[in-house]
Amino acid sequence: MPPFEGEPLAAPAPAKINLTLEVLGLRGDGYHEIDTVLQTLELADRVTLFPDRGALTVEACGPFAGGTPCDDSNLAVQAIIALCRLTGREVPKLAIRLEKHIPPAGGLGGGASDAATVLRLLQRHWGDVPDETAISAANAIGSDEAYFLLGGTARATGRGEILTPLPDLPERGVVLFVPPFTLERKTAVMFRALDALQFDTGAVTRAFVDRPPGQFSPVDVYNAFERVAFDVFRGLSVLWQQLEDRIGDPVRLAGAGPTLFWIGPLEEGQRVAASAAGLPCTVIQTKTARSLWRQ
């Protein structure tokens, strides 16, 4: 069978937030040991694979296409190459179209989700790629990609590649506040800043996992990077305080930032989004979502 043929394949690639994110220490391989609970959102990119295009290419469109690499450094391209290497297939000549609705470099996992969606589309199209191989391809290119193969509510340990599905979180409203700034090599900078502080114990995540999903509260959200985010992202503390003053609820950091988010009752989402009017951030109202791929 040729590496890829037939009609275009398409699927959404959802954003994520971390409901807990603890950094437990530095590993011998240079990564950090983490313990985190992740949650996918309704907000999603749209990934489409078009066959018979003469070469493996990638194009980006949509409201957040700016800054998306359209060369071999794109994680979706790397995912295809990694999967073909593991399965012994020739790299397919197809075009990847990424319709970007997830703000880039904001801690929401857009690039990793695009890559995982490509892996799932090819896995289903080829029909003979086991989950273990798809996971190996995901882990070959990053730490978040394997989670997006699962999606929904899940716990990730190790460097993020060891996954445990969790019961679905009851549907919650989520409002994202995306500042107009980020940093190059942001995640590495954030981890280096944390290295100077005491690491987490994992107690927060263990307590979160042991709590029935229906008892979840916004005050249960925890992110270790919040301890250094104000120093790393200049101006973030002012925005954070303004948002909390206006909303009257906690606002949290998404992943390694700088995106901030509120999570709470669905019916409160519109009020929360409107409360940020005039502040220096892009506001996106969305909600939690179940996995697209979990059986």
Mind listing the pLDDT tens digit for each residue in 54-77? Answer: 889 999 999 999 989 999 999 999
Domain boundary among 165, 193, 220: 165
Assign residue 110 the CATH number of its domain.
3.30.230.10
The confidence score (pLDDT) of residue 295 equals 58
**For the whole model, what pTM was predicted?**
0.94
pLDDT digit of tens for each residue in the chain (295 aa)?
455 667 899 999 999 999 999 999 999 988 999 999 999 999 999 999 998 778 899 999 999 999 899 999 999 999 999 999 999 999 998 999 999 999 998 999 999 999 999 999 999 999 999 999 999 999 999 989 999 999 999 999 999 999 999 999 889 999 999 999 888 889 999 999 999 999 999 999 999 999 887 777 888 899 999 999 999 998 999 999 999 999 999 999 999 999 999 999 999 999 999 999 999 999 999 999 999 887 5
In the prediction, which pLDDT does 249 show? 94
72 and 107 share one domain? yes
Structural domain harbouring 128: 9-165
Query: Distance between CA 68 and CA 58 in Å, rounded?
Result: 10
Residue 281 lies in a domain: yes
Q: Are residues 161 and 16 in the same domain?
A: yes
Q: Do 274 and 181 fall into the same domain?
A: yes
Please tell me whether residues 23 and 97 are part of one structural domain. Answer: yes
Same domain for 178 and 90? no
Catalytic residue among 35, 45, 114, 144: 144
| pLDDT score, position 171 | 93
pLDDT at 294: 76
Looking at the fold, whether 22 and 77 belong to one and the same domain comes out as yes
283, two tokens: 């506001």
Specify the pLDDT at position 1.
44
Q: Residues 16, 35, 100, 114: which is the catalytic one?
A: 16
What is the model's pLDDT at position 4? 63
Asked if 214 and 282 sit in the same domain, the reply is: yes
Q: Does residue 101 sit within a domain? A: yes
The structural domain count of the chain equals 2
Residue 203 sits in a domain of what CATH number? 3.30.70.890
Let me know: does 257 contact 229? Beta carbons within 8 Å: yes
In a domain, 194, yes or no: yes
Q: 211 and 94, same structural domain?
A: no
**Chain segment 274-286, per-residue pLDDT in tens:** 999 999 999 999 9
Q: Is 16 a catalytic residue?
A: yes
Q: Considering 147, 165, 183, which residue would you say is the last residue of a domain?
A: 165
